[in-house]
Amino acid sequence: MKVLSYRPSNSWLQRQLDERWRAWLTRCCAGAAVVGVALGALVGPRQQNVRLRYEIAQRGASVAELERSRRRLLLEREALTSPGSLARELPDLGLELVTRERVAYLTADGRIVAAPTRPPRPARPAQEPR
């Protein structure tokens, strides 16, 4: 049966708020924390590995530079101590070139022996022009 003029009103009922949003937010935060920890566990060692490789590359470059510098210094030392350059500097140092006849050696038994002189080189025959 239908009453035409009666319309029930539920104004006295207070609808309760939905409390499920707190549980949803808690689950989302927990999931984000799990993802963050997993990424940190995977990315952290990789970052350490990359940093160590970068440092190794830097050390390798500095070692290569030091080796180049060492080779350059060795070449410079050899150039400065070569007999030719030392012979050119003798007058500046107040020294004179010693001839082979004035050189003597001390032997193991304590004797002083004059240096052997070289025999003169034989003259080369003249080559014909080609």
Q: 97 versus 7: which is more confidently predicted?
A: 97
What region does 94 belong to: left with phi over 0, alpha with psi -120 to 50, or beta? Answer: left
Asked if residue 43 lies in contact with residue 35, where contact means CB atoms within 8 angstroms, the answer is no
Element (H or E) spanning 119, and its range? none
Location of structure tokens 């935060």: 29
For the chain, the average pLDDT equals: 86
- pLDDT digits over 17-28, tens only? 788 889 999 999
At 2, the pLDDT band (50, 70, 90 cuts) reads low
